[in-house]
Amino acid sequence: MFKLHFGRLTGKAYTKDERVLRFEAIAHNTAELRCGRMIDKFPEIVTQLADIAERFATTLDCVHTSFLDELPTGSMLSATPGRRYRPQQTP
């Protein structure tokens, strides 16, 4: 999981091995969105969070395209801190 906090908002990207599973945008306090907190504002809150998740995914894609593809070929994704990802070998 890749997590980025900015203020009272958080962007998360869930991965499994080298695949991206999903992106999330979380508002820990909807006051940060400046659109109100009442239930009738829920569609606007969801729209803003969807926009944040979209921009987060686009930004990570740009980082991946410009930086991660240029890593040496021996680099591997880490499944857990301190452990290297090793592809399963077929018998």
Q: How many residues does the chain have?
A: 91
Q: Is the pTM of this model over 0.85?
A: no
Structure tokens given for 10: 């958080």
Q: In sequence order, which ranges of 1-91 are alpha helices (DSSP H)?
A: 42-66
* pLDDT given for residue 5 in this prediction: 87
Nearest alpha carbon to residue 63 among 20, 9, 10: 20
Sign of the dihedral through C-alpha 77, 81, 65, 75: negative
Q: Rounded CA gap, 21 and 14, in Å?
A: 5
The reported pLDDT for the residue numbered 27 is 92
- What is the chain's pLDDT, residue by residue, as a tens digit (91 residues)? 878 888 899 989 888 877 888 889 999 998 899 898 899 999 999 999 999 999 988 888 887 666 555 555 544 555 555 555 455 555 5
Check: CB of residue 24 under 8 Å from CB of residue 12. yes
Q: Which residue has the tokens 């021996």?
A: 74
For tokens 């301190």, the residue is 82
